[in-house]
């Protein structure tokens, strides 16, 4: 099994690990309700996507 011949420098290690950080989730604020929503997803409360009604949602009381 091969072993490393030389030690990696700190800068090389940190450059590789720069991509390991967690990203914040992307969202946008809805124009009508002002809620934070995930882009490119159907709103399950209203059934609307891009201003068009996609699915019928049953109202629960």
Between CA 29 and CA 40, with CA 57 as vertex, the angle to 5 degrees is 35
- Please give the Cα distance from 38 to 30 (Å, whole number): 10
Report the pLDDT value the prediction gives residue 61, as an integer from 0 to 100: 59
Which among 47, 23, 27 has a CA at the least distance from the CA of 37? Answer: 27
Please state the domain extents for the chain. Answer: 26-61
pLDDT for 59 beyond 80: no
The percent of residues above 70 in pLDDT, for the chain, comes to: 97
pTM of the model: 0.48
Q: How far is CA 42 from CA 12, 33, 55, in A?
A: 42, 15, 9
pLDDT for 32 beyond 70: yes
């Amino acid at each position: 099994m091969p072993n490393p011949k030389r030690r990696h420098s700190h800068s090389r290690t940190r450059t590789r690990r720069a991509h390991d950080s967690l990203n914040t989730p992307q969202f946008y604020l809805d124009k009508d309700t002002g809620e934070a929503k995930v882009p490119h997803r159907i709103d399950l409360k209203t059934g609307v996507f891009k201003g068009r009604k996609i699915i019928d949602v049953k109202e629960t009381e």
